């Protein structure tokens, strides 16, 4: 199983490798900031959905070996959302607070993404078996439940920033709502 995890990890780096290749070795990127904003954002959404999918898939199939993939996809989700945030802060606004505020005023949906990014930081900081032992399972689960509101905010940002063809953002929002709905139903049924 370990070689398969390595394979998935290598595949997960391919979008980043493609971004680097297109930026530095082709001439098809007219606006690097716009290109990186879109690509890092889309791949953050992809890995967010993959991360959310693992637990229901594991429960549905009864395959416990799927569990480590949640952490793998979660790390790549963080990597791409961190890249997305750094493009916004560093490349688009040069870490200038006035420019950042102006960008948010021009496009208020950015707030959804920024809050989602802030929610994901504690998840990344507490990933792994050592942190589960250190924090205790109950506290660790509470922290990692931040993935749910962060996912809703990420899907909302995607839905509100796309101007032309919104079919993909609507699909993403539907998938996120379904995955969270399944969890909510299961939680409710456990209590009854």
Closest CA to 84 of 61, 113, 120, 118: 113
CA 6/CA 12 separation, integer angstroms: 10
CA 82/CA 118 separation, integer angstroms: 10
Percent of the residues in the chain that have a pLDDT greater than 70, as a whole number: 98
CA 22/CA 28 separation, integer angstroms: 7
CA 68/CA 73 separation, integer angstroms: 9
pLDDT in tens, 67-84: 889 889 999 999 999 999
pLDDT in tens, 109-139: 899 999 999 999 999 999 888 998 999 999 9
pLDDT of 192 reads 58
Q: Is the pLDDT of residue 159 over 80?
A: yes
Percent of the residues in the chain that have a pLDDT greater than 90, as a whole number: 68
Closest CA to 84 of 46, 49, 30: 46
User: Mean pLDDT over residues 169-185, rounded?
Assistant: 91
Say if residues 52 and 147 touch (Cβ distance below 8 Å).
Answer: yes
pLDDT of 128 reads 81
Q: At how many degrees (to 10) do helices 147-161 and 32-61 cross?
A: 140
Q: What is the pTM of this model?
A: 0.91
pLDDT in tens, 84-111: 999 999 999 999 999 999 999 988 889 9
């Amino acid at each position: 199983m370990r070689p398969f995890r390595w394979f998935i990890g290598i595949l997960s780096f391919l979008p980043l490798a493609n971004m680097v290749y297109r930026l530095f070795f082709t001439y098809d990127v007219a606006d690097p900031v716009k290109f990186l904003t879109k690509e890092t954002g889309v791949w953050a959404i992809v890995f967010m959905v993959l991360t959310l999918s693992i637990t229901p898939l594991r429960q549905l199939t009864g395959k416990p070996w799927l569990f480590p993939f949640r952490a793998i996809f979660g790390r790549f989700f963080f990597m791409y959302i961190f890249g997305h945030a750094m493009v916004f802060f560093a490349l688009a606004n040069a870490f200038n607070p006035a420019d950042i505020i102006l960008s948010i005023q021009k496009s208020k949906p950015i707030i959804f993404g920024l809050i989602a990014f802030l929610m994901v930081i504690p998840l990344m900081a507490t990933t792994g078996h050592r942190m589960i032992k250190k924090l205790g399972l109950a506290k660790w689960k509470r922290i990692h439940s931040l993935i749910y509101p962060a996912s809703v905010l990420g899907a909302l940002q995607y839905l509100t920033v796309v101007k032309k063809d919104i079919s993909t953002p609507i699909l993403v929002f539907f998938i996120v709502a379904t995955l969270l709905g399944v969890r909510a139903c299961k939680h409710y049924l456990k209590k009854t």
